[in-house]
Amino acid sequence: MLLLSLASLTACDAEPGPDGEYDGGFDINAGEPEVGIDAVAASPETSEAGCHVGLPYDWSYCSNSCPCDALEGDCDTNLQCVSGLQCNADLGSKFGASSTVDICQAPCLVPPWLLRAWWSGDTNANDSAGSKHGSLVGGTTAGASGFAEGAFSFNGTGYVQVADHGDMDFGTGDLSMAMWVKTADQSGVKVLVDKRKETGTEVRGYVAYLASGQLGFQLGDRAGSWSCSSNATSSCTNWSTGVDIADDKWHLVVITVDRDSATGLRFYVDGSLASTKNPTLRSGSLSNDRPLRIGARSENGTGKFTGKIDEVQLYGRVLSAGEVENIYESGTNGLCRTGGGGDGGGDGGGQPPPPPPPSCLIAPCPV
């Protein structure tokens, strides 16, 4: 059987690699991100059994001679998923394809360790990983049709607010965040997740944002110039990826920050590495007393987002590339809910294991 595709296929090893450090010379006051332009990452493709298999955004189809890998369709009773995956019916619309397309994806994923907070958006702004419950402000709602189950829906007038908590302050340590994002808004700077103190003399904290639709990230760690730049005397630095995700399709965004590594700031889009930056200039404490906001700036509520954000997760460590891929391949099943979960579009998985022993909360557990 032949692999059918409406996409233009390239070599199977065509995959975006790290791009160099970029600071853009940003000089926006109050730590506000500015639009920056870098090279746009290529759409990744993989190879299965000598066949080219693209992502479902490319409308690629699989056959018995070329089984479907994770989040690739169309699979049905006559076609096969790679071992360990399940064929979930009528999910194509979640991936920019026809609603009748069936998708191969993994069962729900047991939450990776050191998950500090998880706002699923299923029915409210509660924290599914603990007690850091949020509130819906303005025109923001929960329970809208999301990527997994429900999602936060933003109309540009509100946000989700979570009171300050030590679990969301990472001090001088590493961190990761993950979320599914869908927006068509390419205007200005729109905040995804923000926890920063912004005053006339200090910017301290972190923010993930879109600038004209392009994914970016900022760290602020000190008092100093109110402008963000790569100069150590400034209080903050912005990093732009140049990767535009404001195409009205769902995208998994994962940002990991290893603060001791010159390539430690990594941006993943849809499970693949899209950009690598150097975060070591910002080695000071990120901790502050401001609330965390999803969809707007912590300090003054500007930068309001329009669209949907689902499955927002914060981790107190660096997620590996393999863990990012696992989150992506779980697809609409997402992280396992209490009782096994996995009912966000698939058949689900088993019960999450018991929490790791206390020593694992401060260092990686033995393999």
Burial of 143 (0-12, 13-18, 19+ CB in 10 A): middle
- 75 assigned to some structural domain: no
* 48 pLDDT above the threshold of 60: no
- 235 assigned to some structural domain: yes
Tens-place pLDDT, residues 190-216: 999 999 999 988 999 999 999 999 999
pTM over 0.85: no
Which position has the token pair 């397309």? 101
Number of domains in the chain: 1
Residue 325 CB coordination number (10 Å): 18
Tens-place pLDDT, residues 128-151: 999 999 999 999 999 999 999 999
| Euclidean distance between CA atoms 111 and 315, whole angstroms | 10
Tens-place pLDDT, residues 255-289: 999 999 999 999 999 999 999 999 999 999 999 99
- 2 assigned to some structural domain: no
Among left, alpha and beta (phi > 0; psi -120 to 50; other), residue 135 is beta
| DSSP secondary structure letter of residue 327 | H
* E strand map for the chain: 46-48, 51-53, 86-88, 103-105, 115-119, 134-137, 141-145, 150-155, 159-162, 175-182, 189-199, 202-211, 214-223, 225-228, 234-244, 251-257, 265-269, 272-277, 292-294, 306-315
Chain centroid to CA 355: how far? 24
| Euclidean distance between CA atoms 296 and 305, whole angstroms | 6
- 259 assigned to some structural domain: yes
Instruction: Measure Cα distances from 226 to 21, 183, 211, 216, 289 in Å.
Output: 21, 30, 19, 19, 18
Chain centroid to CA 303: how far? 18
- 24 assigned to some structural domain: no
Average pLDDT, integer, range 75-93: 82
Query: Which CATH number does the domain housing residue 273 bear?
Result: 2.60.120.200
- 119 assigned to some structural domain: yes
If DSSP codes are grouped into helix, strand and coil, which group holds residue 358? helix
Nearest to 22 by CA among 41, 40, 42, 36: 36
* pLDDT of 209: 99
Instruction: Look up residue 46 and give its amino acid.
Output: T
- 83 assigned to some structural domain: no
* pLDDT of 28: 31
Domain, as residue range, for 165? 29-39+109-333
- 270 assigned to some structural domain: yes
* 31 pLDDT above the threshold of 80: no
Nearest to 309 by CA among 253, 242, 241, 238: 253
* pLDDT of 224: 82
Give yes or no for a contact between 133 and 125, defined as CB atoms under 8 angstroms apart. Answer: yes
The pLDDT mean for the chain works out to: 80
* pLDDT of 9: 24
* pLDDT of 61: 62
